[in-house]
Amino acid sequence: MVGGIVQDDGNFYENDKRYIVWGANYWEAMNLGAQKTGNRNRLVRDLDKMKSMNINNLRIIAASEGPADSQKPVNVLMPEPGIYNDDMFKGLDYTLYQMKKRGMKAVMVLNNFWQWSGGFAQYVSWVKNTTIPIPPGYPENDSRVKNTWNDFVNYAAQFYTCDEYIDMWKKHIKTVINRKNVYTGKRYKDDDTIFSWEFANEPRQNNDGSLPMTDEFIEDISGYIKSLDKNHMVTLGSEAHPSIGKDVFLRENNHKNLDYSTTHIWVQNWNQYDPKNVTNSRMGSQNKPIIFEEYGMARDGWDGQDEYDPSTPATNRLKYFKAILNEVYKLTDKQIFQGQNFWAYSGEGRPASGDNRDLYLGDPAHEHPGWYGIYDKDTDMINFLKKMGKKFLKLN
């Protein structure tokens, strides 16, 4: 297998040795890697810093769609159906090229349920020629926001129901998988820098279950990816949201062409705060690896402190990371989990306002800048992650 990583009996292996995921979410990589509109010097320094933290796996976006929008990046990969921004594609090429130098693997996310990169809703908008019902987000005073989150979820979940949306997306999947990297000369499907193909960021049914992610949809897309690339693993990217339930999660992930599963925990977004509330059941009888793929916490926000200001302490976040990673370590040691990707690395990026806003933070453009991102100067957190990464990787 060119991809180098295989799964067997609930574990990942590389060259017959257990592979532990010690990773980060770094969605801004492609945008930073763009030569004309990005910041390659910062990308390289961010990668070097993460390498010093023992990070071996990055979850990155390999898709962004639609016109410019205040809740998405200034530059996207596919501004119109089938029309690509060459500078952005070269940014993805350059990211993989630099990751290869550092022995890092990339989870390539091929779509998004949420609006911050275009995603499902953009495909629906293109085909139906309707306006996306933008939900509340950042900026808080966005005059276009006249809808609820439920309105948006119902709109985006229509994506599962129409062959025209799905066929348009398949063309993108094929384009990315067959892409030849201009810096390495390798097609993505032959590049061992790639860890896996992920359907989308947090694909899910709508809230009342009337627009589910059907078994037929999952079989179709996972089989299509495998028909194009037999060298790399495939995963769904689902969050295992508690409101949707375990049975749906198990059904969605119980497909032969899905190699592993993922789970996310958002204690602030979901109004939960129990760092030990992590599943200890390895996908029931499916016996597939599972990655703790997203979790995070804001900076301290009490006593009048600004939780979005990089100078505000992050003592509560550090306590949370210590508690939750100690639990994930135990589960990884027991071969229940196979590692983690924290949300998210902002590196040298810093939030700003108005026209000076840095859109390339760990926080996507629809969220308040500085909410969850970890900066290169968050010394206590960086040192903890470096130490913890070394401990995790000894489980290899």
pLDDT for residue 271 is more than 70:
no
Note the pLDDT of residue 273. Answer: 44
CA angle 331, 256, 215 (to 5 degrees): 105
Say what the pLDDT of residue 303 is.
65
The average pLDDT across 72-97 equals: 95
| pLDDT attached to residue 357 | 55
Q: What is the mean pLDDT of residues 60-75?
A: 90
Strand 290-295 and strand 261-265: the pairing is parallel
pLDDT by residue (tens digit) across 173-227?
999 999 999 999 999 999 999 999 999 999 999 988 889 899 999 999 999 999 9
Q: How many angstroms from the chain centroid is the CA of residue 4?
A: 21
- What confidence score (pLDDT) does residue 58 get? 98
| The pLDDT value given to residue 129 | 96
Average pLDDT for the chain? 90
Q: For 32-46, how does the pLDDT look when each residue is reduced to its tens digit (9 = 90+)?
A: 999 999 999 999 999
- Determine the Cα–Cα distance for residues 181 and 357; give it in Å rounded to an integer: 30
What local confidence, expressed as pLDDT, does residue 282 receive? 41
Asked whether the predicted pLDDT for residue 368 surpasses 90, the reply is no
- Please give the average per-residue pLDDT across 263-286, as a whole number: 55
Among residues 168, 291, 262, 154, the alpha carbon closest in space to that of 221 is found at 168
Cα–Cα distance for residue pair 61/117, rounded to 1 Å: 9
Q: Which two tokens stand for residue 36?
A: 């004309």
- Region 295-317 average pLDDT: 88
Tally of CA atoms within 13 A in the half-sphere of 277 that contains its CB = 12
pLDDT of 278 reads 43
pLDDT in tens, 232-265: 999 999 988 777 878 888 999 999 999 999 999 8
Q: How confident is the model at residue 145 (pLDDT cuts 50, 70, 90)?
A: confident
Q: Using alpha carbons only, how large is the chain's radius of gyration in Å?
A: 19
pLDDT reported for residue 53: 98
If you average pLDDT over residues 282-292, what whole number do you get? Answer: 72
* Confidence class for position 274, pLDDT limits 50, 70, 90: very low
pTM: 0.94
Structure tokens belonging to residue 386: 């470096």
Q: How many other C-beta atoms can be found within 10 angstroms of the C-beta atom of residue 187? A: 15
pLDDT, position 137: 85
CA distance 310 to 373: 9
Residue 97 has pLDDT above 90, yes or no: yes
* Pair of tokens at residue 111: 């779509």
Query: For residue 12, which phi and psi values (nearest 5 degrees)?
Result: -100, 145
First to last CA, the chain: 19
- Percent of the chain surpassing pLDDT 90: 75
Instruction: Give the confidence band of 284 by pLDDT, cuts at 50, 70, 90.
Output: very low
Which range is least confidently modeled, 13-22, 55-64, 329-338, 349-358?
Answer: 349-358
d(CA 20, CA 392): 7
Residue 279's pLDDT is: 44
Q: Identify the band that residue 358 occupies on the pLDDT scale cut at 50, 70 and 90.
A: low
Residues ≥6 apart with Cβ < 8 Å to 122:
65, 66, 115, 132
Strands 194-198 and 105-109: parallel
- Do the beta carbons of residue 181 and residue 93 sit within 8 Å? yes
What ranges make up the beta strands (E) of the chain?
A: 5-8, 11-14, 17-18, 21-25, 57-61, 105-109, 194-198, 233-235, 261-265, 290-295, 339-342, 345-347, 374-375
Tell me what pLDDT residue 267 has: 65
Q: What is the pLDDT of residue 138?
A: 85
Task: Check: CB of residue 240 under 8 Å from CB of residue 264.
Answer: yes
